[in-house]
Structure 1
Amino acid sequence: MVNIIMELNQVQRELIIRGYDAHCSEIERLIETRLNTDMIELYEVLLSGRKADIKRYCNNNEIDLLDIDEATKQSIGLNLIEIEIKTLLSEKGRYDAELKELGIRTKRITNGIEQCPWFSMFNSPVSLQWWTKNTEKILSNCDINHKYYDWVDSKIEHIKDVWTEIEPQQALPDITKYWQVYNFEVPERVQEYLVKGCGN
């Protein structure tokens, strides 16, 4: 009888983990959609599948649904997806607290910027503290008089300056700044310079 109860508990545990993983995957999908989808296209998708949500949003914000320009469509699409992300994150916070009590590991959700070329050069840090530590460690081993040193340092400082608006753990990063940083290229010669700084 004890074995049956333990197996049932294991089944319940697996179901909880699967449900939690599905919830986290949906948040990640919405974060990615917000960053990569044209908001007018998103508005049109919402209009075809969730017209009631758009009507409610327009009523609450005194927007005439019959007289909407492109900028308003963009704003509605963006606001609705952000509301959904915030709602799911709030639910995740409650789940995280309960899962920790059960001894189940929770998941950290990022916006993916840690995979961009500049972050990857410094081991993809997900906090400003890690970014600072990793960049300082590598730069301290680089030749300060090298022609790339100041250029690399300025890129690192720029990322620090916009960190709060793009940081990996920010579910709703500033879209424009996110893509500016994400698309910063690391030229091959700069990569070689930094790899030497890593001691490789």
Structure 2
Amino acid sequence: MSVWSSLRAAAGAAGRAAGAGVGAAAAGGSRAKFSVSAIALSGAPGNSFRITPSRWQWHKFKDMLHYYVVVGAIPATLIILYSNIFIGPAELTPIPENYTPKYWEYERHPITRFIYRYIMHSAQQDYEKYLHYLYEENEKALLRQLEAQIKLKMGERGDYQAYYYRPVTAKYIRAFKESHEETVNRIGDD
């Protein structure tokens, strides 16, 4: 049994028990009893208050769509139309002597020229940035090789605990090793 059918049954029972309902009040009854269910269910049968989901999100989406079309798409369309109608594509002409064209002057469309001139980097600048990246990576590789060689020598000689930690000066350790080797050579291993 749905909520509305139970409300209708309750409103009908309340109207019969009271002897007067909405219609009695309209007919001029002195004392009419109104209930929320009787008011909500008054009218033709089948006409009742329908609960529907909110359409607020849909209306908000439409508002935002219209806003961004007005703010973004319309000005962009006007700029594109202006540049195509009044400026037009570039035409090839001979390059004058003693003049080096800029990198954006090689583009045909005016909007593309604008983007290359004010937003993007030139191909030469991108190439030089890439070369600098390769140089930095090469320097890092050389430093890693040097570090590996240092650790190898430290392991062979055993004169340092680590290349970044030096508890004593190494010259005394080397001098002690040399004197120990001389002593072993003079006296022997016994």
| TM-score normalized by the length of structure 2 | 0.24
Structure with bigger gyration radius: 2
More helix by percentage: 1
Structure number with greater CO (CA < 8 Å, separation at least 6) is: 1
| TM-score normalized by the length of structure 1 | 0.23
